[in-house]
Amino acid sequence: MERRRGEALEAAILEAAWDELSERGYANLTVDSVARRAGTSKPVVYRRWADKQQLVEAAVVHRNVTHLIAPADTGSLRGDLVATLTEMSDKGGAFLGQLSVLLAGYFTETRTSFVDLREAILAGRSSGRDEIMKRAIDRGELDPAKLTPRIASLPFDLVRAEAMMTLRPVTREVVEEIVDTIFLPLVR
């Protein structure tokens, strides 16, 4: 078996950490269990991440970057939102609710929240949400004066909240209701 190094080794460790987090939760995840699962040693893991918190944060960021959902470009704000939110829900909606439970210990230890984790995931990049809103402004579909950061995040937050409450993907009908009856009237 060829020895992994660099990016290949790092990816294997981060994927192992994600799998451990998904199966065991933050409280039961150990650096030792991650190293074992990745087929490496604890010192190799600790050379890259100083502690379990940093490892888990890196694993969540890695997972989100490698499984990024590209924002739909249907030619309309409504179409872009419905398609993107539906895909977001289909690919990870049910897991969002579980993730909040799995990361509860992490948030307690680090005194952070999903907002902080989201910032680490984005790391200065614009989000798909921002891309959708910019295209809609450029097409004249959206009044930028009415688009506050909270309003821009509203349809995404509502779909995430629905998924967290039901522990199931959000149906297209619910996504359409969020877009048509809540979001669009606020920005037009």
CA distances from 131 to 19, 81, 136, 156 (A): 30, 11, 9, 13
Q: Tens-of-pLDDT digits for all 188 residues of the chain?
A: 457 788 999 999 999 999 999 999 999 999 999 999 999 999 999 999 999 999 999 999 898 888 888 999 999 999 999 999 999 998 876 666 677 778 888 999 999 888 888 888 877 777 899 999 999 999 999 999 999 999 999 999 999 889 888 888 899 999 999 999 999 999 98
Give domain limits for the chain.
Answer: 6-63, 69-187
Q: Which residue has the tokens 């992994």?
A: 4
CB 121 within 8 A of CB 60: yes
Residues 104 and 121: their CA atoms lie apart, in Å, by 18
Give pLDDT, residue 169. 87
The domain 69-187 is classified under which CATH number: 2.60.40, 1.10.357, 1.10.1740, 1.25.40? 1.10.357
Among 71, 49, 46, which residue's Cα sits nearest to residue 60?
A: 49
Task: Give the pTM.
Answer: 0.80
CATH domain 6-63 topology: Arc Repressor Mutant, subunit A (1.10.10)
